[in-house]
Amino acid sequence: MKQKMFFVKISTILLLSSALFGLFVPKTAHAEDIVDITRAAGYTVNGIYRPKASIIIDATNGNVLWEDNPDLPWSPASTSKMMTVYLAFEAMEQGKFNLDTTITATETHAKISRIHALSNNKIVAGVDYPIRELLSMIIVPSSNVATVMLANLISNNDEAAFVQMMNDKCAELGMSNSMFYNCSGAQISSFQGYYAPIGIDPNADNQSSARDLSIMTYNMLKKYPEILEYTKSPVVTVMSGTPYAETFETYNHSLEGAMYSFQGMDGLKTGSSPTANFNYIGTAKRGDTSLIEVILGAGNWADQAGEHERHPFGNAILERAFSTYEYKKLLSKGSNQIDGKEISLAQDFYGVVPKNSTPKFTLENNQLLLNNGLAQVSEKIPAQSVEYTEKQPSQGSNNNKKETTKKENTTMTDSELPIIEYVVSAMVAILGGIFMVLTPMTRRPAHGRRARHSTGMRPLFLLGLILLASGITLGVLSWQMGTWFPFQF
């Protein structure tokens, strides 16, 4: 009987300890399976189309709202073309050309446009194609020849140099899992010799990840939001009013008005190949909340239904993100009370927080920190900053106040977590557990023939139970309220 009671107590303590330490695990961006979320959203999907990787980030601050294998190396396929578009807008910003600049198509361009294994549009040798038209050709029908034409303009026809520009941009943006071998996402060998960057493996696939593609998109839209003008329409006509006009329907079936129309979807690009299966980058905005999502590796190339099946998954997790989080003003310009201190903000402070929640802030190391529990998608994308002035009473006078102006840098750090509080809670709980294990159940003093069957608990065992319960309670409070311990080390 004693042995049985001992094992009962051990099992109880282990279960309670597991629950306690489970509170200390950092919050993840998701806790549910993407297939279950998609079905719960009302879509009928087969698990065989499950994406290999996905991510959703806030397009304003770069907070990660959802992630599933975000760093899995994967072929981006034609979503690679958005890096070429990025570099084109950067070149225009530098004054190298503009949207009205034209490229005269060559016979080589015309031959590339006739390679049926590649996604393309008709290009006629001798015709002048404005940059604005090439951008639409690249983004909507995913034209490989238009991508090559634009890349060659940017690099002065040095194809290998342009690929190096792509990889240099990856390094600049912090896309650490990315490597480009071509400008469009199609292997060099598929161009039948008409596009052949010198010194680059013709059979190599571009490589990236869901995280890296979201970083690229975040930076691109921050600098060149006008790109969305080319991505938001489900149907576009290029070279309108000329003999070379063509009309295309988007492959982004989540755009408003398309097959899987999603409210607020305004871009961005799809991609597919035998090695990548079906990918897409989506951007959407509702109110002040703008989100970026990346879906990689949905379905299988042998089953072309994956082109459509990737979108229910993307729509479902994007809807979940919009339903859970919002970007809004958290603190107004001027005087604010934070942690018992009076600070004055030079401007309104915005951020992403769970809906119907009270924002939590911490003043620490001369920083105003937003404790929203969300990580930044990249170390190179810091949280928003704002200047503030802290007012402190000077010694010997209640009327004179010393003002110190500080620059906020709200990059999330480990110091935001209530580590000391967690340690204290754990120590209290563990101490209680030790008391409970080492203190055996006992009998009350015998008073009569049947009294020896009446049991009770020794005071030390009862104290252990109280300490264990107290430790768990403190852990819950730390998780909900953040720091509360009066001393910091």
Active site residue 190: no
Answer positive or negative: Cα dihedral of 107, 109, 112, 113.
negative
- Say which CATH topology domain 34-325 has: Beta-lactamase (3.40.710)
- The CA-atom distances, in angstroms, between 389 and each of 321, 344, 413 are 34, 5, 22
269 is an annotated ligand-binding site residue: yes
Task: Name the catalytic one among 9, 54, 75, 81.
Answer: 81
The question of whether 290 is a catalytic residue gets the answer no
| CA separation for the pair 51, 309 (Å, rounded) | 10
For 353, which DSSP code?
A: E
In which element (H, E) is residue 284 found?
Answer: strand 277-286
Beta bridge partners of 328: 351
Q: What distances in angstroms separate CA 46 from CA 271, 299, 389, one per listed residue?
A: 21, 9, 55
| Spacing of C-alpha 257 from chain mean position | 26
For residue 435, what are its two tokens?
A: 């008391």
| Catalytic-labelled residue, pool 75, 78, 113, 209 | 78
Helix 419-438 crosses helix 459-481 at what angle (to 10 degrees)?
A: 160
297 touches 277 (CB < 8 A) = yes
In the set 54, 75, 119, 142, the catalytic residue is 142
Which CATH code, of 3.90.220, 1.20.1740, 2.30.110, 2.30.140, is assigned to 332-412?
2.30.140
Contact (Cβ atoms closer than 8 angstroms) between residue 363 and residue 338: yes
pLDDT (tens place) for every residue of the chain, 489 residues total: 455 454 445 444 444 444 444 444 444 455 589 999 999 999 999 999 999 999 999 999 999 999 999 999 999 999 999 999 999 999 999 999 999 999 999 999 999 999 999 999 999 999 999 999 999 999 999 999 999 999 999 999 999 999 999 999 999 999 999 999 999 999 999 999 999 999 999 999 999 999 999 999 999 999 999 999 999 999 999 999 999 999 999 999 999 999 999 999 999 999 999 999 999 999 999 999 999 999 999 999 999 999 999 999 999 999 999 999 999 999 998 899 888 888 888 889 999 999 999 998 888 777 788 888 899 999 999 877 677 877 765 554 444 444 444 444 433 344 445 667 777 778 877 887 787 777 665 445 545 544 444 455 577 777 878 888 887 887 776 666 655 555 444
Active site residue 81: yes
Structure token pair of residue 150: 């634009």
Tokens of 225: 């939001």
Predicted TM-score (pTM) of this structure = 0.76
Helix (H) or strand (E) holding 485: none
Phi-psi region of 261 (alpha: psi -120 to 50; beta: other; left: phi over 0): beta
The domain limits of the chain are: 2-25+417-445+453-481, 34-325, 332-412
Q: What is the pLDDT of residue 409?
A: 41
How many CB atoms are closer than 10 A to CB 185? 30
Spatial separation of the C-alpha atoms in residues 54 and 36, rounded to whole Å? 15
Tokens of 440: 């055996």
What Cα–Cα distance (Å) separates residue 116 from each residue in 5, 138, 304, 374, 408?
Answer: 75, 16, 17, 45, 54
